[in-house]
A and B are shown apart, each in its own frame.
Chain A
Amino acid sequence: MFYREAGDFSTTYREDSQTFPIKFDRYRYYAVLLIAFAIIPFLLNDYWVNAIFLPFLIYSIAAIGLNILTGYCGQVSLGTGGFMAVGAYATYKLMTAFPEVSMVVHILLAGGITAFVGVLFGLPSLRIKGFYLAVATLAAQFFLVWLFNRVPWFYNYSASGQINSPERTLFGIPITGANTEPWAVYLFCLVFVTLSAIIARNLTRGAMGRKWMAIRDMDIAAEIIGVNPLTAKLSAFAISSFFVGVSGALFFSVYLGAVEVGEVFGINKSFLVLFMIIIGGLGSIFGSFAGAAFLVLLPVLLKNVLVTGLGWPTDLAAHLEFMIVGFLIIVFLIVEPHGIAQLWRVAKEKLRLWPFPH
């Protein structure tokens, strides 16, 4: 009743192949963009930005990246944390070496460097699949963290072994360092998220996405119809790592400001992003957002309910959070392996017919 496509016809292939072929979806998308860009910045305070919006936006980019690799191309990766670290350290080195160059350039370059590293660690995927590839990417995770811990050049020989993000401005407004405004960092990340999502969507609905999905669904058949597995897999690794690198760069420079690599970009981070795309939905850009929102909001919500609401001790709430997240992951894997995105699709199909399902 509310959600319908009756009377909504595509008369050209161009119209039919757009991201939101249904008018209702399209207007909802514009409304979300309008709220995100024009309304939320005015309502923000420090707590909202640091507890919810920045982690949500930055993890969304990482989830989009991993979803391209795992959800679309079917190559399981446990190296996300390590690749985020590459993005972070690349930005740090670039920021300190070229202070006068814009942060946008640094972050994009950091993405490019991560893409290169991703391709290097993606090479084994040409020979091995599934579990074995996951283990190979795990090696990337541990190696990269070790590298950034042990080679002082990466943290500019600082005594603490940490990297700290110096203050940098964009159009005269500080976006990194201690004196940032909530709305500025929010908008800065939002622009990256929006562009990432649009680019990821364009790539996955076109020729490149079909190559990836063909490799994912049946690699032998994909090869027989003319997909070169080498370029398909490595392009997935490159583009996925690019997004993961950008998210790592933002995570370090804009969100945290100071990073100790083993703590921030450890194996936990890899699993967190992997859980996001599993819960959100493999092979769906919307699912990347849904998963990131779910895993960012859930702890905040639990903390607010249990600690602030019921007055329980913080450590108990923190432990409960682990149990609840773990439990939900198992529930999702059993009940809806395709994640929140699939729930959303089913809900839309039901809404089309509601309230007369026959």
Chain B
Amino acid sequence: MNTDDGYITEDGRKIGGVVMEMKNITLRFGGVTAIKDITFDIREGEIRAIIGPNGAGKSSMLNVVSGFYVPQEGEVFFRGEKRPPLKPFEVARQGIARTFQNIALFEGMSVLDNVMTGRLTQMNSGFISQALWRGKAEREEIENREICERVIDFLEIQSIRKTPVSRLPYGLKKRVELARALASEPKLLLLDEPMAGMNVEEKEDMSRFILDVNDEFGTTIALIEHDMGVVMDLSDRVVVMDYGKKIGDGTPSEVRNNQAVIDAYLGVSHD
């Protein structure tokens, strides 16, 4: 569709063309329709929020974007091309990274190793080279370590880089998970409730990191979040879902004044 034009956000950032486009997506689990005929797009460099009450289908939507679920109907366009049904690891190789609602870190590994797993798609040295730790394997290890260390610096987790993840508190785990996603230098970053279960201070930190990531690396971000204050502050455009349907789409201020959205959140009297 309109891949050419962008728009200027309220705070003056230039948003580019469409990176990802979801067209008439319908997802069913047996008899349950989790997502019903949803269309929306994500543009280059923007922070796109998906909100909605519990059970609205937000996480399912994110799973469709990340390729974990394949919708029964509808098409997904990534960077202008129609995406065939892919396996999750193939989607990761296209440059889509994500974090999870419940932390999905590798508990038995150190923080550094966890972040380094984010680079696995870029590491393709041969078996012999790896077994001998010579040549390409060693070179790759060092190059990718440098990229990971930049992310570690950026997210201020240097002091825990050798700590096993299982010893970390919740807030730091969330940050390490973001680091792992960032390490892959994604073109599109999906965050599933990055601030769930955090206190105000941790939320502020996380918000700052999300804004910085978007600002410094120009990463396109799609996020799900329940904290309305955070969503309204962070995001450029918001999709509102309820019962698997899209009930609103637009800038935070547009969405805030949308009657359907207000009804969904505050309830509506049936008389």
In the complex, whether A309 has a CB less than 8 A from a CB of chain B is: no
| Residues of B close to A224: CB separation below 8 A | 66, 68, 88-89, 92, 98, 104
Please state if A221 and B109 are interface contacts (CB–CB under 8 Å).
no
Tell me the residues in window 123-161 of chain B with beta carbons closer than 8 Å to chain A beta carbons. 123, 125, 127, 130-133, 137-138, 140-142, 145-146, 149
| Residues of B close to A216: CB separation below 8 A | 106, 108
State the main secondary structure of chain B at its contact with A.
helix
| Residues of A close to B180: CB separation below 8 A | 225
In the complex, whether B120 has a CB less than 8 A from a CB of chain A is: yes
CA distance A206 to B98 in the complex (A): 23
Give B74-108 as 1s and 0s: 1 = Cβ < 8 Å from A's Cβ atoms. Answer: 00000000000001110011000110100011111
Please state if A210 and B113 are interface contacts (CB–CB under 8 Å).
yes
Task: Looking at the assembled complex, report how far the CB atom of A59 sits from the nearest CB atom of chain B, in whole angstroms.
Answer: 22
In the complex, whether B26 has a CB less than 8 A from a CB of chain A is: no
In the complex, whether B59 has a CB less than 8 A from a CB of chain A is: no
| Residues of B close to A12: CB separation below 8 A | 142
Please state if B93 and A226 are interface contacts (CB–CB under 8 Å).
yes
| Residues of B close to A202: CB separation below 8 A | 130-133, 137
In the complex, whether A228 has a CB less than 8 A from a CB of chain B is: yes
In the complex, whether B184 has a CB less than 8 A from a CB of chain A is: yes
Give A1-17 as 1s and 0s: 1 = Cβ < 8 Å from B's Cβ atoms. Answer: 00000000000111001
CA distance A202 to B118 in the complex (A): 19
In the complex, whether B235 has a CB less than 8 A from a CB of chain A is: no
Which of A203, A210, A228 contacts B117 (CB under 8 A)? A210
Q: Interface extent on A, as a size class?
A: 20 to 34
Which of A207, A208, A218, A223 contacts B106 (CB under 8 A)? A218
Task: Looking at the assembled complex, report how far the CB atom of B108 sits from the nearest CB atom of chain A, in whole angstroms.
Answer: 5
Which of A14, A213, A221, A226 contacts B121 (CB under 8 A)? A226
Please state if B106 and A214 are interface contacts (CB–CB under 8 Å).
yes
Q: Interface extent on B, as a size class?
A: 35 or more
Which of B88, B121, B130 contacts A208 (CB under 8 A)? B130
Which of B104, B105, B131 contacts A199 (CB under 8 A)? B131
Please state if A13 and B184 are interface contacts (CB–CB under 8 Å).
no
Tell me the residues in window 188-223 of chain B with beta carbons closer than 8 Å to chain A beta carbons. none
Please state if B89 and A221 are interface contacts (CB–CB under 8 Å).
no
Please state if B106 and A13 are interface contacts (CB–CB under 8 Å).
no
| Residues of B close to A227: CB separation below 8 A | 89, 117, 120
CA distance A213 to B180 in the complex (A): 15
In the complex, whether B239 has a CB less than 8 A from a CB of chain A is: no
Give A267-293 as 1s and 0s: 1 = Cβ < 8 Å from B's Cβ atoms. Answer: 000000000000000010000000000
- B contact residues vs A (CB 8 Å cutoff): 66, 68, 87-89, 92-93, 97-98, 100, 104-109, 113, 116-118, 120-121, 123, 125, 127, 130-133, 137-138, 140-142, 145-146, 149, 180-181, 184
Please name the 6 residue pairs, one residue from A and one from B, whose CB atoms are nearest each other, closest first: A226-B92, A221-B104, A217-B106, A226-B121, A202-B133, A207-B123
15 contacts between A and B (CB under 8 A): A13-B145, A13-B149, A14-B142, A206-B133, A207-B141, A210-B109, A213-B109, A214-B117, A217-B105, A218-B105, A220-B104, A223-B89, A226-B93, A227-B117, A228-B89
